[in-house]
Amino acid sequence: MTTDKRKVVLIGTGMVGMSFAYSLVNQGAICNELVLIDLNKVRANGEAMDLNHGLAFAKSNMKIYAGEYSDCKDADIVVIAAGVAQKEGETRLDLLKRNTEVFRSIITPVVKSGFDGIFLVATNPVDIMTRVTYELSRFGAARVIGTGTSLDTARLRYLLGEYFTVDPKNIHAYVIGEHGDSEFVPFSQVMLATKRVTEILEGKNDYCLDDMMKIEDEVRTAAYKIIEAKRATYYGIGIALTRIVKAILGDENSVVTVSAKLCGEYGQKDVFIGVPTIIGRNGVKEILELNLSEDEKKKFDNSVEVLKSAFEDINI
């Protein structure tokens, strides 16, 4: 993988993909070449033109253009934000099968191009589609990453910051598990700076555990509320993608709750799931295993089973 060039290829120029591209341009100095690939080539060209017209106001120079799968050959990262929408009356399994075929049509030409970088997946259900990418590409697990619960974690820190009247950057908390209904917050590990939130809740103050449960539920249902209000979510995940790309290209060794392959951590293996992970130039450097309580372990195991069952049903 070449990091001097810092080339990113985005596959899928829908709202999620373009929110990522727009965030990438505005944050500046993360990459210096961005290629847009879409089945609708006219749209990809139009999106590239639109972004280019704003470069005079951007923080740094960037080469942006609509390209082909052959452009993936020397890319550092290929971001996949493509996928099909769920039809009325269609089951989740049917949607998974259709998206698997879409991914097959994407990953095959990307690998054929000679691409040797990192796959970053945003398409939902992201944990399963990340595993699909891993199976189809035959890349090492460290080089296949999903956005996982990175956005959920950001939502959690924002809400806890509001609750405790503290800058969210000083809240150390994670949402782990499936990016979906079985995700959860291991409150035993939540810290406000260096103090455990469980200790704060035990003190004589207005804070209580019931409020924590409400916040957890608000995080879990946030996407539903946003979709009900505006039909889709895209800004938050676009910024989350940018954060992950920055961590990779900058070789930051930052901790992000991405969807990564477990190889014995938490007593599980052969599943991609959202967990705190050290991310650097070569992708996944290390999965940080949290010291979960017995109840939290059960919740995590349940989330694993949900994902394993769904993946097995698609018979890839």
Are residues 177 and 47 part of one domain?
Answer: no
Spatial distance between the Cα atoms of 77 and 50, rounded to a whole number of angstroms: 22
Whether the predicted pLDDT of 93 surpasses 80: no
Overall average pLDDT of the 259-266 stretch: 98
Share of the chain above pLDDT 70, in %: 96
Q: How many domains does the chain have?
A: 2
Is residue 103 located within the same domain as residue 181?
A: no
Averaged pLDDT for residues 152-170: 97
Q: Specify whether 53 is located in the same domain as 71.
A: yes
Query: Which CATH number belongs to the domain containing residue 173 in this structure?
Result: 3.90.110.10
Report the alpha-carbon distance of residue 181 to residue 17 in Å, rounded: 23
For residue 263, give the H/E element and its range.
Answer: strand 254-263
The Cα–Cα gap between 251 and 270 comes to 26
Domain range for 308? 150-313
- 215 inside domain: yes
Q: Determine, yes or no, domain membership for 122.
A: yes
Residue 1 located in a structural domain: no
- pLDDT tens-place string over residues 209-246: 999 999 999 999 999 899 899 988 999 999 999 999 99
The DSSP code sequence of 68-99 is -GGGGTT-SEEEE---PPPPTT--HHHHHHHH
Residues 260 and 207 in one domain: yes
Domain boundary among 146, 161, 183: 146
Distance CA 312, CA 233 (A): 28
Q: Same structural domain for residues 272 and 208?
A: yes
Model pTM score: 0.95
Together in a domain, 85 and 183 = no
Q: Does the residue 124 lie in any domain?
A: yes
**Looking at residue 41, which CATH number applies to its domain?**
3.40.50.720
Last residue of a domain, one of 115, 146, 177: 146
Please give the pLDDT value at position 2. Answer: 45
What does the angle CA 266 – CA 295 – CA 148 come to, to the nearest 5 degrees? 50
Q: Which residue, of 118, 146, 174, is where some domain finishes? A: 146
> By three-state DSSP, how is residue 209 classified?
helix
Quick: pLDDT tens for 114-147.
999 999 999 989 999 999 999 999 999 999 999 9
Q: Are residues 194 and 70 in the same domain?
A: no
Catalytic annotation present for 179: yes
Give the pLDDT score at 284: 98
Residue 30 sits in the same domain as residue 139? yes
Active site residue: 7, 155, 157, 179, which one? 179
Residue 2 located in a structural domain: no
